[in-house]
Amino acid sequence: MKIYTKTGDKGQTSLYDGTRVDKDSLRVESYGTVDELNSYIGFATKFINDESIKESLKKIQMRLFFVAGELATVEEGKFKYKIKEEDIAALEKIIDDYLSKISGADAFIVPGSSEASAALHVARTICRRAERRIITLKRHEEVSDTLLKFVNRLSDVLYTYARFLESELTIMDFEKAYNETAR
């Protein structure tokens, strides 16, 4: 099997259902950012020693294939794997469980006290970008509310895991930071 088909050489690609669209369409931008997120979560797991978090992230990565597949399909019924409310509930349980183990979870922090937390913070920002792309797509085309809610909750999970894995907290004191940079 060849990996190149030459069908995209003029700036178009096929969606999962065979629909041809421009490679810079909102739909492709949306599922492409989800793909980037999925890849970065995989990268982040290489720095995480906590096996339960790694296993949780692997399950999340599988759900991200559902998110991308749903976004890559225009024709209703062509892609059967959908994000469900139970998937959102599972993310909320993770958040609740881990937030109870973190002090100062509502403080602003400077990301990067460990490789694991830094990688998860990057994944979180990619997740937020994916969410923004999906919101833009939703203004023009049909997108599941459940899918959007899942992506929103996922960024909270990534934040929560990153905070849990911080080796030291650098809590942002805005006044101090402002005064130091004003000199």
Return the pLDDT at 11. Answer: 85
State the Cα–Cα distance between residues 94 and 160, nearest whole angstrom: 8
**H-type alpha helices, the chain:** 26-45, 51-71, 85-99, 115-140, 145-164, 174-181
State the Cα–Cα distance between residues 26 and 140, nearest whole angstrom: 9
pLDDT tens profile 56-87:
999 999 999 999 999 999 888 888 899 999 99
Superfamily holding 13-181: Cobalamin adenosyltransferase-like (1.20.1200.10)
